[in-house]
């Protein structure tokens, strides 16, 4: 516990106290970078471009439209949309007017989507045309929603026999945009995002204006994502989940040009945009980048302006970092979660690391990195005792900070333990502050009382030339309780027979991990089950292999 000092004993400053308003990020961009472009690949198929000044004007029209629809401060407004300029206008129009922008992840199961719309009590839902079929199914189960607004112009409006649809462009054309952004308590809720709910019901993280602006400051800094007006940023990570890692806020804050990829996330479409819009930096999960790298390789393409990409959401395999390096792209490894707005740590080298051999530098860069200023971290053992930051001891990772939740939306009991948020991740922290995830606490393999990191095993496995995706799970073992089983999707064109390949993969681990960590068995499947956010769905795999017997 930190000691405190009574307010009466302090000499208070004479500085202005201005609430940190999300709307001020966009007005700042308009005033300072008014002509900087925002480019979007639309669901209509074409490329749309306009400027920060245009975006700010339309965000004010959105705010006026919401008020006309009867949406007031604190009301939740849902969005089901890809990364694009209209979604950005909604981010600002909704939060800027004091309502709460509830981004909905369309990749969740249908019953999860209706659950969160009802839990949030969304009054209005804005959606991209491509989600109409989903909306039609949702409608009967979502009594709180009064308006379903399609993000389209009148010419491209779809017809529906089931839903009374309103047209976004028609509605905002009725507004003048002569709207002054209100100023209010910076701790008011601004946005709501539910976790993927891989275990149990999805839970809502309710962000504030203050936490969002502070997260934008910290994540834009040099050494964090290093976002500036000299950059062209393509956020591939979706705006419908964890706020596209805060880029819709950090880009206007710094004046970076934004390139939104819309719904087309295949390697070729991403490459085209990177090339034609001179993208310098992007951000996304490893599965997306695997597609881009494959396209570039197969088509012998090269990058001209693309220099950096932020990878997070799952561990970035060393092999992927190396592949990007061959194309002149530096990978910045970051860690975070919905409950952290989302960024907690970013990996990077200090001046003193620059003279170290490449292998040592890579070892640092492959970790999840140091906490951003504003986030504190510690690791604890099963009894809650703090473990040393020696890079070896691993335990449950706890965090606290200005953009960490203190409770879930409408939950009675806070998840905090003595003021710290338990992340559910297991990690090490080294003497230099670098954190490295070794597992999700529910995924660690407990073999004879010792822990095996499933992530370390997967990282080695994906470096094997025949392996496309690998997941390591625990299966029951009569003597050791649990032993690792490696589940593999082979690369296309691999013809080796499975018994030989299995032995070859097991041999591949020798010298790369401790002998007793080598998976006891390797199973091959055609398609890897993935979660709504593109992560390995270990729950399904454990179910699939629950009767798997290991050879004694
Ligand atoms: P959910 O998938 O439940 O919605 P998030 O998208 O918030 O959750 O993901 C948070 C989790 O993703 C973290 O707790 C961690 O397990 C994992 N994660 C995020 N970034 C990384 C990373 N760079 N390396 C390993 N795991 C990561």
pLDDT, averaged across the chain: 94
- Distances in whole angstroms, Cα of residue 151 to Cα of each of 113, 117, 243: 19, 18, 18
Chain position carrying tokens 């806070």: 414
- 451 given a catalytic annotation: yes
Say if ligand 1 is within 6 A of residue 99 CB: no
Chain position carrying tokens 């220099």: 307
CB 165 within 8 A of CB 150: yes
> What domains can you pick out in the chain, each with its CATH number?
22-336 (3.40.50.12780), 444-544 (3.30.300.30)
Using DSSP's 3-state secondary structure scheme, residue 206 falls into strand
Least-confidence region, from 223-232, 257-266, 433-442, 525-534: 525-534
Q: Smallest Cα–Cα separation from 212: which of 237, 234, 244, 236? A: 244
Report, in this order, helix, strand and coil percent for the chain, each rounded to 5. 30, 25, 45
* The predicted structure's pLDDT at residue 109: 81
pLDDT in tens, 115-145: 999 999 999 999 999 999 999 999 999 999 9
The full DSSP string for 113-167 is: HHHHHHHHT-SEEEE-GGGHHHHHHHGGG-TT--EEEESS-GGGPPP-SS--EEE
**pLDDT over 90 at 536, yes or no:** no
Name the more confident of 431 and 201: 431
**pLDDT over 90 at 465, yes or no:** yes
Say if ligand 1 is within 6 A of residue 315 CB: yes
**pLDDT interval class at 287 (50, 70, 90):** confident
**pLDDT over 80 at 201, yes or no:** yes
Specify the pairing of strand 204-208 against strand 189-194: antiparallel
User: CA triplet 138, 140, 146: central angle to 5 degrees?
Assistant: 85
Query: If residue 321 lies in a helix (H) or strand (E), which one and from where to where?
Result: helix 318-326
Q: What's 394-419 look like in SS3?
A: CEEEEEEECCCCCCCCCCCCCCCECC
Q: For residues 26 and 57, give the distance between their C-alpha atoms in angstroms, rounded to a whole number.
A: 10
How far does the centroid of ligand 1 lie from the alpha carbon of residue 335, in Å? 7
Mean pLDDT along residues 236-262: 97
pLDDT in tens, 150-166: 999 999 999 998 889 99
How far does the centroid of ligand 1 lie from the alpha carbon of residue 93, in Å? 29
- 339 given a catalytic annotation: yes
* The predicted structure's pLDDT at residue 197: 61
Which atom of ligand 1 sits closest to the CA of residue 334? 23
**pLDDT interval class at 65 (50, 70, 90):** very high
How far does the centroid of ligand 1 lie from the alpha carbon of residue 516, in Å? 27
DSSP letter, residue 516: G
Among the listed residues 451, 482, 531, 535, the single catalytic one is 451
* The predicted structure's pLDDT at residue 552: 63
Say if ligand 1 is within 6 A of residue 535 CB: yes
Which atom of ligand 1 sits closest to the CA of residue 531? 2
Q: For residues 165 and 226, give the distance between their C-alpha atoms in angstroms, rounded to a whole number.
A: 41
Query: If residue 520 lies in a helix (H) or strand (E), which one and from where to where?
Result: none
* The predicted structure's pLDDT at residue 286: 87
User: If you take atom 12 of ligand 1, which residue's CA is the nearest one?
Assistant: 313
Q: Which residues contact 229 (CB under 8 A, 6 or more apart)?
A: 33, 36, 254, 255, 256
How far does the centroid of ligand 1 lie from the alpha carbon of residue 396, in Å? 14
Instruction: Round to the nearest angstrom and report the end-to-end CA distance of the chain.
Output: 51
Q: Which residues contact 210 (CB under 8 A, 6 or more apart)?
A: 19, 20, 186, 187, 402
Between helices 286-298 and 267-276, what is the axis angle to 10°? 80
Say if ligand 1 is within 6 A of residue 196 CB: yes
pLDDT in tens, 171-181: 999 999 999 99
Mutate to test the pocket of ligand 1, among 313, 454, 531 (most ligand atoms within 8 A of CB): 313
Q: Which residues contact 8 (CB under 8 A, 6 or more apart)?
A: none
Chain position carrying tokens 């629950």: 546
Q: For residues 477 and 516, give the distance between their C-alpha atoms in angstroms, rounded to a whole number.
A: 14
Which atom of ligand 1 sits closest to the CA of residue 342? 7
User: If you take atom 5 of ligand 1, which residue's CA is the nearest one?
Assistant: 337
**pLDDT over 90 at 203, yes or no:** yes
Which atom of ligand 1 sits closest to the CA of residue 339? 7
**pLDDT interval class at 259 (50, 70, 90):** very high
User: If you take atom 19 of ligand 1, which residue's CA is the nearest one?
Assistant: 313
- Cross-strand pairs, 510: 513
Say if ligand 1 is within 6 A of residue 240 CB: no
**pLDDT over 90 at 40, yes or no:** yes
* The predicted structure's pLDDT at residue 91: 98
* The predicted structure's pLDDT at residue 198: 58
Say if ligand 1 is within 6 A of residue 476 CB: no
Q: How large is the C-alpha radius of gyration of the chain?
A: 24
User: If you take atom 9 of ligand 1, which residue's CA is the nearest one?
Assistant: 337
The full DSSP string for 245-275 is: GGHHHHHHHHT-EEEE-BT--SHHHHHHHHH
């Amino acid at each position: 516990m930190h000691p405190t000092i009574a307010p009466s004993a302090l000499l208070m400053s004479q500085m202005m106290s201005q609430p940190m308003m999300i709307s001020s990020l966009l007005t700042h961009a308009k005033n300072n970078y008014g002509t900087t472009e925002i480019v979007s690949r639309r669901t209509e198929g074409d490329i749309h471009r306009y400027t920060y000044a245009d975006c700010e004007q339309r965000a004010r029209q959105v705010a006026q439209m919401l008020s006309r629809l009867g949406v007031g401060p604190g009301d939740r407004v849902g969005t089901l949309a890809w990364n694009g300029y209209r979604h950005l206008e909604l981010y600002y129009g909704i939060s800027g007017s004091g309502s709460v922008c509830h981004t909905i992840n369309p990749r969740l199961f249908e019953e999860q989507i209706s659950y969160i719309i009802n839990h949030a009590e969304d009054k209005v839902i804005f959606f991209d045309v491509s989600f109409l079929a989903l909306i039609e199914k949702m409608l009967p189960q979502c009594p709180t929603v009064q308006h379903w607004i399609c993000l389209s112009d009148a010419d491209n409006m779809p017809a529906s026999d089931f839903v009374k649809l309103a047209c976004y462009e028609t509605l905002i054309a009725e507004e003048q945009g002569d709207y002054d952004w209100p100023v209010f308590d910076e701790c008011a809720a601004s946005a709501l995002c539910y976790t993927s709910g891989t275990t149990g019901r999805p839970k809502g993280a309710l962000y504030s204006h203050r936490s969002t602006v502070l997260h934008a400051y910290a994540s834009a800094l040099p050494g964090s994502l290093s976002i500036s007006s000299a950059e062209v940023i393509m956020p591939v990570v979706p705006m419908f989940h964890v706020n596209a890692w805060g880029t819709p806020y950090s880009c206007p804050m710094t004046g970076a040009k934004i390139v939104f990829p819309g719904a087309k996330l295949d390697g070729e479409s991403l490459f085209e945009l990177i090339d034609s819009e001179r993208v310098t930096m992007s951000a996304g999960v490893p599965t997306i980048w695997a597609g881009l790298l494959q396209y570039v390789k197969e088509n012998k393409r090269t990058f001209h302006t693309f220099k950096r990409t932020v990878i997070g959401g799952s561990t970035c395999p060393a092999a992927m970092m190396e592949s990007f390096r061959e194309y002149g792209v530096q990978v910045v490894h970051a860690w975070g979660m919905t409950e952290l707005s989302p960024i907690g740590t970013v990996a990077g080298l200090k001046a003193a690391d620059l003279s170290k051999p490449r292998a040592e530098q890579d070892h640092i860069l492959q970790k999840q990195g140091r906490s951003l200023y504003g986030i504190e971290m510690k690791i604890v053992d099963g009894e809650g005792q703090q473990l040393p930051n020696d890079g070896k001891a691993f335990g449950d990772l706890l965090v606290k900070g200005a953009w960490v939740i203190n409770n879930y939306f409408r939950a009675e009991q806070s998840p905090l333990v003595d003021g710290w948020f338990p992340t559910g991740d297991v990690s090490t922290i080294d003497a230099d502050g670098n954190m490295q995830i070794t597992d999700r606490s529910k995924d660690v393999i407990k073999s004879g009382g010792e822990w095996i990191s499933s992530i370390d095993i997967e990282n080695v496995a994906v470096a094997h030339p025949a392996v496309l995706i690998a997941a390591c799970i625990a299966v029951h073992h009569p003597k050791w309780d649990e032993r690792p089983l490696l589940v593999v999707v082979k690369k296309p064109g691999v013809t080796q027979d499975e018994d030989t390949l299995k032995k070859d993969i097991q041999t591949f681990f020798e010298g790369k991990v401790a002998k007793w960590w080598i998976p006891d068995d390797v199973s091959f499947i055609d398609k890897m089950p993935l979660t709504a956010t593109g992560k390995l769905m270990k729950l399904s795999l454990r179910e699939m292999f629950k009767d798997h017997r290991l050879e004694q």
